Amino acid sequence: MAEEKNPFEMAQAQFDHVAEQMNLEPSVRNMLRWPMREFRFQIPVRMDDGSIEVFFGFRVQHNDARGPAKGGIRFAANETLDTVRALATWMTWKCAVADIPLGGGKGGVVVDPASLTTGEKERLCRGWIDAVWKVIGPRNDVPAPDVGTTPQMMGWMMDEYSKLKGEYTPGVITGKPVGSGGSLGRTAATGFGVVIHIREAMKHLKMPSAGKTASIQGFGNVAQYAAINFIEMLQGKVISVSSWDRTDRCAYTFTKEDGIDPYFLQSITDQYGTIDKEEAAAAGYKVEDGDAWLKKDVDVLIPAAREGVITEDNVEQISEQVAILAEGANGPTTLEADAVLKKRGVFLIPDFLCNSGGVTCSYFEQVQNDMNYYWSEEEVLSKLDQKMSKAFKAVLQMSLEKNLFMRDAAYWVAIASVERAMRLRGWL
Ligand code: GLU
């Protein structure tokens, strides 16, 4: 068994690997291996029963040479400073590869959000802002949703920040609800972006998309819109999705060989991505174990749940048919598994390229907040399509030019861009 990977060690190892290939100077390496600033704080929250519970919160700003730090806030029971560091680091590369003028940040709270009532959740969100409001802001660091957080929570956080500042400041946070400073298209953006990258990869591989099959891990926001767009934009078929069952504390895979209906599954999924297995079974879905999604004979695999799920222990179970691995999640594949995928010639669309549609739409949201003028959904998605296609082509070109694995090529593009910004600012 591979031991549990520390995600920050994994992020550093990925960086070191490419830093070596690029022959980066030690000063650049030292700067980028670690976050620039880190905050860990306590958040006392009055619970509904009158007691006070103290939560641990984090905000890490990895690098802001290219612009204000940017990145989501996760509410997760197993959150640690190291997971937040890793995710903040990946955000720096993500914004650089998508070529949006932002840096990398990430936040978190150690909590299972499903254990909180709505009122407790609101007080925890406001408490998170009370702890960090002095070090975030539209020109410093702009949070957003991630695993375990929702547009409504972003709305509360924006309200709390605006109260503390004494002025309406929608640009302090993105992923807000539409009607409260949010952008049309933001909810679908990450999954939509994942499918744009798959479309571009298929063009490159000269693989017609119609009728191609996919299997997806997860059924949260990213996975749901990846499924919908894989079916509607590419005329493909999704044969299985997996989802975490909060009651049973394990994952299940929901399979339908003639294609799942993502809208039906959405209708029986709660806000944390748990699909109701009785209802799914009654509708003819085969309910399998949580790992079954990985072993399917499909053309495209989309891990869109958590980090560290494709490892040396299970990578060999991936079917020979899989031509594309599109990483919707952050950090789903370990370095050891990468080596196997490379050898097998699986075309990898690396996480911080593949899922950069979310943050790119967040950037559009901020731009609209600044203008106080809002675009149509069509306009947002067409701008997103352009940005994603351009980012994909830049990484592919680097990969072909230097004969690099796609992950290394994406790192190369991103690191070079952050290094350039640091030099132009006179930091190095
Ligand atoms: N949490 C998302 C990500 O990991 C979005 C970040 C953002 O919109 O700032 O990319």
For the CA of 330, the nearest atom of ligand 1: 4
Q: Which domains does the chain have, with CATH numbers?
A: 33-181 (3.40.50.10860), 187-345 (3.40.50.720)
| 359 CB within 6 A, ligand 1 | yes
| 362 CB within 6 A, ligand 1 | yes
| 253 CB within 6 A, ligand 1 | no
| 355 CB within 6 A, ligand 1 | yes
Q: What is the pLDDT along the chain (428 residues), one digit of tens a residue?
A: 445 679 999 999 999 999 999 999 999 999 999 999 999 999 999 999 999 999 999 999 999 999 999 999 999 999 999 999 999 999 999 999 999 999 999 999 999 999 999 999 999 999 999 999 999 999 999 999 999 999 999 999 999 999 999 999 999 999 999 999 999 999 999 999 999 999 999 999 999 999 999 999 999 999 999 999 999 999 999 999 999 998 999 999 999 999 999 999 999 999 888 999 999 999 999 999 999 999 999 999 999 999 899 999 999 999 999 999 999 999 999 999 999 999 999 999 999 999 999 999 999 999 999 999 999 999 999 999 999 999 999 999 999 999 999 999 999 999 999 999 999 999 99
Pocket test for ligand 1, best of 190, 353, 354 (most atoms within 8 A of CB): 190
Report how far ligand 1's centroid is from the alpha carbon of 189 (Å): 10
Handedness of CA 14, 330, 196, 375 (dihedral sign): negative
Catalytic residues: 106
The CB density around residue 317, as the number of other CB atoms within 10 Å, is 11
Give the predicted TM-score (pTM) of the model: 0.96
Report how far ligand 1's centroid is from the alpha carbon of 145 (Å): 6
pLDDT for 270-313, tens place per residue? 988 899 999 999 999 999 999 999 999 999 999 999 989 999 99
Report how far ligand 1's centroid is from the alpha carbon of 223 (Å): 14
Beta strands 250-255; 286-289: pairing state: antiparallel
| 146 CB within 6 A, ligand 1 | yes
59 beta partners? 39, 107
Do 303 and 329 touch, CB atoms closer than 8 A? yes
| 229 CB within 6 A, ligand 1 | no
